[in-house]
């Protein structure tokens, strides 16, 4: 329960952090809130020789709107997401989702950037990012690139981020007015990861769905975008039949790993159930 | 001021029995001023960290310490070979077995202690652990106790393969520990043969862990110059611990000091003597400097005293109205790799034979077969007396099974079988004398409070509505506990009787110090004992200091477990206080120049009968007792010690009712209501009782709904961190409604019984009964704990209840 020895670095700017990553090479790990990394280090599953702490880089924090886009610094904590007036108004799905993460202690330290970068399909932000159609700003020695959340997650603990890059910012297009939203998460207890969870953004046109975006948490080796369910719903009314079919299509792409939360059958069924409930709740909130 | 107002004010000043005095200990705890073993720092102290086995069953072919010894900060690496010269490589267990302190040639369970690395700081010790190279040859493991006694089962304990008997009767297989029986088998068999109704159900109490917030640990400090050993340790039994240390080490018991300090919860987990303590002690004896060893959470859950793992079969025989005519309960007990299961010498299966519960049942028989498996040893009483949860779970589940078979209501089946109020004292088929009880009244009060019939009507309506997204279940548990071990004629551990003690010293100004052989772990002893003394002696509780846990200060006692503190030490406290009061009365009579018989006690003073202006307050008497103005021949002082050997155990009881709503589509169980009526006899501090009931119910909820230690087929732990192991927080804990009746214990000086374990023992079956009741109309009588959403969903799914 005691990590192996490591050196600690605390750069004050993104540029310095990137320089350090270059100098220290693959033995270095970025440290954000530490609530995924430190448990792994305590179990000695991870034994980085260097930690580069992003905690003192002011430019990595904060939530703002620029044009039609919400920009969130990677080091913004879950607690800050939860208390943001801007998000509550413009992207309430993110606030609802953050509230389902861990417990207050973890949320004071854990960051949105760390949650995304960890590449764990059990984390909640990836599905929220998929539903919100977010993009990520990756900053490296050669400058910035912006990549879409859809396609960013490659596998368990694996993303498009290169070893010398830092996720610096999350960009979310402001959802269309009247969009409905919901994050439905089934978990065993406070502080638990999802048995299954579904994030939904829903735009209605009259009685039918104009657009649905659906992200599935802990349903496979990465977050899953329920494309078939999204496509199916377009133009449909939300009723028992369409909910059942959308849930079925979401379940079809699940490949969950059995663990103490349940076997694959249960988790798949719960993915369907959460999808159904998230669509229902989003529908109830949507204004045509 | 009127006379009654004046009396009331004097009484209130004492804050004695019956008042909800705030806990004296909390001021310290809530300010972070507790002092736990992990807080202790001593000059030159070394840290020990344990190398643990990755395998459940393997031969150790070699241990290479070289790399670890070369690690900066590492001072030594101890293995079984190093303990051999001091004969501490193996230690005897309370169960009549021996246990490897550090694995000797073989490991018998995953995470077993293999070596201890000593280093100058904790981090270096763990670096050293990672560098100790152990060469293992993996062996087939036994995980399922039902396979332990198969003919071709691997032999686990080669070290005792020739032992025909582990002090509890003949062994029939190398993996067999004992078979224990009670009751009358022939009579029970005959009752079953003739009964119009019989029921049988397999009932599992899965392997769980008490998981106290503070893990186990110690600081051992041996002074080579004086030969004194001091051990600061997380223990519920400081005095017995010292006795064990003396037996193990050969150091005179008078030269060993065991200090309990603040303990962050025990729940039975801190009763045993663990290998880590022993190795740390040896390490300090060898190095001459203090050695600290503190468990991680994973160590704690994986290796220290688990609970339960009782695979039971319940059978009841009844007449056509459900009046029980016979009982046969058996259990297969998985004791893990060594029989270090905690029990009193004469009770290898604990108090399992309390399994007739609150019911008048003739023709009873029970049997427990204990076996070895490749799991951690132990078997502690998790918030209960030894094996009482298992026993009561069986009978309370079986009452429901019987009700379903007979077709009567689950409250009614209990009423028909209760021991009636006028039958007390009532001796059960297994020979326990239930001293007091009033079961019908307790159940009726609960049913009325919750509008039971209304609940059943609501349930019937839900069952009739196929569109209802939820199932509703109502659980009842009307349990009788057995606590307060115990009469020395039947109860001992390692030959030491389970009496307990209290020493009271009264100082000239009325300040009191009381020292006891028990050990608080959060029960509020400093408050409860002070209140007993306050009432008995008429001195304010605020000026009464209670000390426990330091064997140099406190008189000998068997510690705190099995709800024994109030039944045994609470009684000792009353008896010691009464000795003091008797002496004070003599002094008062002397001062007032009357006969003792002319005096009467009133709250805080002795008054002359019929002449109320003539009195001596206890406070005055405290001072006088330290002067020369005493009756002829009397010694100074107002001190007393009492050693209390209880004439019987105590039998608290209760009636609980739980309402659950189950989400058919996720399997989530929501506890809508939990109503707990407890009868613990005289109530000393109602607030502390409520707190204990809340805690016990919360742990019952944890066990029933989520706790289990899961293993794979190779004996690998699948859930030994708090990621998986369920410790409910305030968020998932239901709201508790508490109530009480008062049926004083006739043989306890204060009429008190224990209470802290009742809610755990009575709560678990209540939750299970509620969950299973939700499916009862579909013929379901069996569902294993824990009732996780996953498990409950599987039941819904199997029954097709989750179809849309
Ligand atoms: C008890 C508990 C319960 C939890 N429950 C949940 C839950 O329900 N849902 C959930 O989503 N999470 C949960 N978590 C995880 C928690 O939210 C973590 O905080 C989060 O996953 C990681 O964020 P962090 O800021 O702590 O990152 P760290 O732990 O510091 O880092 C995580 C990883 O990301 C990398 N990294 C961090 N920041 C960046 C960056 N800006 N650019 C590139 N790489 C970076 C690190 O190098 C590391 O590999 C839980 C954690 C705990 C301890």
pLDDT tens digits for range A2-54: 999 999 999 999 999 999 999 999 999 999 999 999 999 999 999 999 999 99
Instruction: For residue B236, indicate whether it is catalytic.
Output: yes
- What are the tokens at A274? 């959460």
Of ligand 1's listed atoms, the one at least distance from the Cα of A39 is 53
Where do the domains of chain B lie?
Answer: 3-34+500-644, 41-141+215-263+270-303, 310-485+649-798
How far apart are the CA of B790 and the nearest CA of chain A, in angstroms? 6
The shortest CB-CB distance from A260 to any of B298, B724, B732 is to B724
B457 CB contacts (<8 Å, ≥6 apart)? none
**E strand or H helix at B619, and its extent?**
helix B618-624
Last residue of a domain, one of A131, A153, A172: A172
Q: Is A102 in the pocket of ligand 1 (CB under 6 A)?
A: yes
Ligand 1 centre distance from Cα of residue A110 (Å) = 6
Tell me which residue has its CA closest to atom 36 in ligand 1.
A114
Q: Is A159 in the pocket of ligand 1 (CB under 6 A)?
A: no
pTM over 0.90: yes
Burial class (CB in 10 A: 0-12, 13-18, 19+), B733: middle
B3-34+500-644 and B310-485+649-798 agree in CATH topology: yes
What is the C-alpha R_g of chain A?
19
Last residue of a domain, one of A143, A172, A201: A172
How far apart are the CA of B86 and the nearest CA of chain A, in angstroms? 30
ipTM of the complex: 0.96
- A44 and B130 in contact by Cβ < 8 A? yes
Q: Report how far residue B622's alpha carbon sits from residue B607's, in angstroms, rounded to the nearest whole number.
A: 16
* Residues A219 and A266 reside in one and the same domain: yes
**E strand or H helix at B223, and its extent?**
strand B217-223
CATH 3.20.20.10 fits B3-34+500-644, yes or no: no
Task: Classify B310-485+649-798 by CATH class.
Answer: alpha beta
A48 in any annotated domain: yes
* Residues A71 and A95 reside in one and the same domain: yes
The shortest CB-CB distance from A266 to any of B49, B297, B790 is to B790
Of ligand 1's listed atoms, the one at least distance from the Cα of A167 is 42
Once rounded to an integer, what is the mean pLDDT over residues B100-116? 98
* Residues A164 and A76 reside in one and the same domain: yes
**What pLDDT is recorded for position B148?**
98
How far from B347 is each of B344, B351, B354, CA to CA, in Å? Answer: 5, 7, 12
Over residues B176-202, the pLDDT tens digits come to 999 999 999 999 999 999 999 999 999
Over residues B345-354, the pLDDT tens digits come to 889 999 999 9
CATH 3.90.1170.50 fits B41-141+215-263+270-303, yes or no: yes
Q: Which residue has the tokens 């659980």?
A: B475
pLDDT bucket at B342, cuts 50 / 70 / 90: confident
Q: Which residue has the tokens 């459900």?
A: B322
Q: What is the DSSP letter of B650?
A: B
Residue B341 has pLDDT above 90, yes or no: no
- What are the tokens at B481? 């506990």
CA–chain centroid gap for B458, Å, is 37
Least confident of A213-227, B84-98, B594-608: B84-98
Residue B64 has pLDDT above 70, yes or no: yes
Q: Which residues of A touch B (CB under 8 A)?
A: 1-2, 4-5, 44, 103, 186, 188-192, 195, 240, 244, 260-263, 266, 269-270, 273
Over residues B25-44, the pLDDT tens digits come to 999 999 999 999 999 999 99
Over residues B398-424, the pLDDT tens digits come to 999 999 999 999 999 999 999 999 999
Instruction: For residue B757, indicate whether it is catalytic.
Output: yes
Over residues B117-152, the pLDDT tens digits come to 999 999 999 999 999 999 999 999 999 999 999 999
A2 in any annotated domain: no
Residue B689 has pLDDT above 70, yes or no: yes
Residue B1 has pLDDT above 70, yes or no: no
Instruction: For residue B366, indicate whether it is catalytic.
Output: no
Residue B702 has pLDDT above 90, yes or no: yes
* Residues A200 and A232 reside in one and the same domain: yes
Residue B552 has pLDDT above 90, yes or no: yes
pLDDT bucket at B344, cuts 50 / 70 / 90: confident
Over residues B301-335, the pLDDT tens digits come to 999 999 999 999 999 999 999 999 999 999 999 99
Of ligand 1's listed atoms, the one at least distance from the Cα of A124 is 11
Number of domains in chain A: 3
Q: Considering B52, B207, B383, B683, which one is annotated as catalytic?
A: B383
A1 in any annotated domain: no
Instruction: For residue B71, indicate whether it is catalytic.
Output: no
* Residues A162 and A189 reside in one and the same domain: no
Of ligand 1's listed atoms, the one at least distance from the Cα of A185 is 8
- A4 and B127 in contact by Cβ < 8 A? yes
**What pLDDT is recorded for position B345?**
83
Residue A142 has pLDDT above 90, yes or no: yes
Question: If we measure between CA atoms, which residue out of A111, A283, A99, A251 comes closest to residue A190?
Answer: A99
**Domain boundaries, position A18:** 7-53
Strand B306-318, strand B113-119: pairing: unpaired
Residue A288 has pLDDT above 90, yes or no: no
Q: Is A276 in the pocket of ligand 1 (CB under 6 A)?
A: no
Q: Is A98 in the pocket of ligand 1 (CB under 6 A)?
A: no
A157 in any annotated domain: yes
**What pLDDT is recorded for position B346?**
85
* Residues A205 and A113 reside in one and the same domain: no
The shortest CB-CB distance from B706 to any of A44, A188, A262 is to A188
The shortest CB-CB distance from A186 to any of B123, B297, B666 is to B666
């Amino acid at each position: 329960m005691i990590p192996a020895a490591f050196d600690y670095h605390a750069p004050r700017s993104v540029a310095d952090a990137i320089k350090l990553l270059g100098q220290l090479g693959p033995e270095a790990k970025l440290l954000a809130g530490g609530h995924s990394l430190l448990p792994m280090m305590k179990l000695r599953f991870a034994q980085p020789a260097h930690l580069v702490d992003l905690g003192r880089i002011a430019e990595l924090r904060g939530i703002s709107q620029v044009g039609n886009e919400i920009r969130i610094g990677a080091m913004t904590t879950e607690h800050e997401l939860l208390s943001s007036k801007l998000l509550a108004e413009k992207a309430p799905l993110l606030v609802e989702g953050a509230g389902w993460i861990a417990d207050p202690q973890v949320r004071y330290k854990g960051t949105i950037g760390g949650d995304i970068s960890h590449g764990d399909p059990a984390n909640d932000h990836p599905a929220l990012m998929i539903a919100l159609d977010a993009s990520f700003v990756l900053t490296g020695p050669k400058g910035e690139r912006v990549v879409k959340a859809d396609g960013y997650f490659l596998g368990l603990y694996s993303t498009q981020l290169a070893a010398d890059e830092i996720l610096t910012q999350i960009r979310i297009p402001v959802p269309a007015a009247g969009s409905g939203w919901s994050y439905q998460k089934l978990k065993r207890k406070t502080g638990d990861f999802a048995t299954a969870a579904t994030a939904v953004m829903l735009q209605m046109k009259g009685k039918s769905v104009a657009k649905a975006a659906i992200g599935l948490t802990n349903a496979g080796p990465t977050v899953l975008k329920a494309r078939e369910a999204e496509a199916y719903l377009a133009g449909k009314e939300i009723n028992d039949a369409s909910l059942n079919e959308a849930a079925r299509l979401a379940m079809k792409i699940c490949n969950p790993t059995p663990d103490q939360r349940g076997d694959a059958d249960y988790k798949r069924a719960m993915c369907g159930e959460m999808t159904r409930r998230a669509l229902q709740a989003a529908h109830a909130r949507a204004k045509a | 001021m009127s006379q009654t107002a004046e009396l009331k004010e004097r009484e209130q000043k004492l804050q004695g029995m019956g008042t909800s005095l705030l806990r004296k200990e909390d001021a310290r705890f809530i300010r972070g001023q507790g002092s736990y073993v992990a807080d202790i720092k001593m000059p030159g102290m070394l840290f020990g960290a344990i190398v643990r086995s990755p395998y459940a069953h393997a031969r150790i072919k070699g241990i290479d310490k070289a790399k670890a010894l070369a690690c900066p900060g590492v001072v030594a690496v101890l293995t079984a070979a190093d303990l051999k010269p001091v004969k501490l490589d193996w230690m005897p267990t309370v169960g009549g077995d021996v246990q490897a302190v550090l694995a000797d040639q073989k490991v018998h369970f995953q995470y077993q202690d293999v070596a201890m690395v000593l280093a100058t700081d904790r981090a270096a010790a763990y670096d050293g652990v990672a560098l100790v190279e152990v060469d293992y040859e993996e062996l087939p493991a036994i995980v399922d106790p039902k396979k332990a006694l198969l003919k071709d089962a691997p032999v686990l304990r080669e070290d005792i393969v020739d032992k025909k008997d582990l002090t509890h009767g003949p062994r029939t297989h190398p993996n067999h520990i004992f078979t224990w029986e009670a009751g009358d088998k022939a009579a029970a068999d005959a009752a079953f043969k003739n009964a119009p109704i019989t029921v049988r159900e397999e009932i599992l109490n899965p392997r769980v862990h008490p998981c106290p917030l503070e893990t186990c640990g110690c600081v051992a400090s041996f002074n080579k110059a004086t030969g004194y050993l001091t051990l600061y340790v997380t223990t519920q039994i400081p005095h017995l611990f010292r006795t064990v240390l003396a037996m193990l080490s050969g150091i005179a018991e008078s030269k060993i000091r065991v200090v309990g300090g603040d303990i962050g919860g025990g729940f039975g987990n801190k009763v045993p003597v663990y290998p880590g303590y022993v190795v740390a002690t040896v390490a300090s004896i060898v190095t001459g400097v203090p050695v600290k060893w503190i468990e991680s959470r994973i160590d704690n859950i994986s290796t220290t005293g688990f609970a339960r793992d009782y695979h039971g079969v319940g059978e009841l025989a009844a007449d056509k109205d459900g009046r029980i005519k016979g009982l046969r309960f058996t259990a297969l007990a998985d004791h893990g790799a060594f029989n270090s299961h905690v029990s009193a010498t004469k009770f290898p299966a604990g108090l399992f034979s309390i399994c007739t519960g609150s019911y008048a049942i003739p023709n009873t028989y029970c049997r427990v077969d204990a076996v070895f498996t490749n799991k951690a040893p132990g078997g502690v009483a998790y918030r209960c007396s030894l094996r009482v949860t298992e026993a009561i779970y069986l009978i309370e589940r079986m009452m429901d099974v019987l009700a379903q078979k007979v077709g009567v209501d689950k409250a009614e089946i209990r009423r028909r079988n209760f021991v009636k109020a006028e039958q007390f004292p009532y001796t059960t088929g297994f020979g326990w004398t239930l001293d007091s009880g009033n079961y019908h009244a307790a159940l009726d009060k609960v049913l009325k409070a919750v509008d039971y019939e209304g609940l059943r009507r609501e349930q019937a309506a839900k069952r009739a509505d196929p569109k209802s997204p939820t199932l509703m279940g109502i659980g009842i548990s009307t349990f009788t506990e057995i606590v307060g071990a115990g009469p020395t004629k039947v109860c001992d551990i390692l030959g030491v009787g389970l009496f307990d003690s209290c020493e009271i010293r009264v100082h000239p100004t009325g300040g009191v110090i009381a020292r006891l052989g028990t050990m608080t772990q959060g029960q509020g002893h400093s408050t409860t004992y002070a209140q007993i003394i306050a009432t008995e002696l008429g001195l304010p509780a605020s000026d009464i200091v209670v000390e426990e846990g330091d064997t140099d200060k406190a008189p000998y006692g068997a510690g705190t477990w099995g709800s024994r503190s109030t039944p045994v030490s609470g009684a000792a406290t009353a008896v010691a206080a009464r000795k003091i009061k008797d002496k004070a009365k003599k002094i008062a009579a002397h001062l007032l120049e009357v006969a003792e018989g002319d005096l009467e006690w009133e709250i805080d003073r002795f008054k002359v009968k019929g002449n109320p202006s003539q009195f001596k307050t206890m406070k005055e008497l405290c001072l006088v007792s330290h002067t020369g103005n005493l009756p002829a021949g009397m010694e100074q002082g107002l001190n007393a010690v009492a050693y209390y050997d209880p004439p019987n155990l105590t039998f608290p009881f209760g009636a609980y009712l739980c309402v659950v709503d189950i989400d058919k589509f996720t399997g989530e169980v929501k506890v809508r209501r939990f109503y707990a009526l407890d009868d613990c006899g005289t109530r000393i501090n109602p607030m502390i009782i409520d707190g204990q009931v809340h805690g016990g119910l919360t742990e019952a909820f944890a066990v029933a709904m989520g706790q289990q230690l899961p293993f794979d087929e190779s004996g690998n732990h699948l859930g030994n961190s708090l990621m998986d192991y369920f410790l409910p927080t305030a968020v998932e804990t239901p709201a508790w409604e508490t109530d009480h009746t008062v049926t004083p214990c006739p043989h306890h000086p204060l009429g008190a019984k224990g209470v802290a374990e009742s809610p755990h023992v009575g709560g678990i079956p209540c939750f299970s009964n509620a969950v299973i009741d939700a499916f009862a109309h579909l013929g379901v009588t069996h569902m294993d704990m824990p009732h996780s959403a996953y498990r409950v969903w599987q039941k819904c799914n199997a029954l097709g209840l989750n179809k849309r």
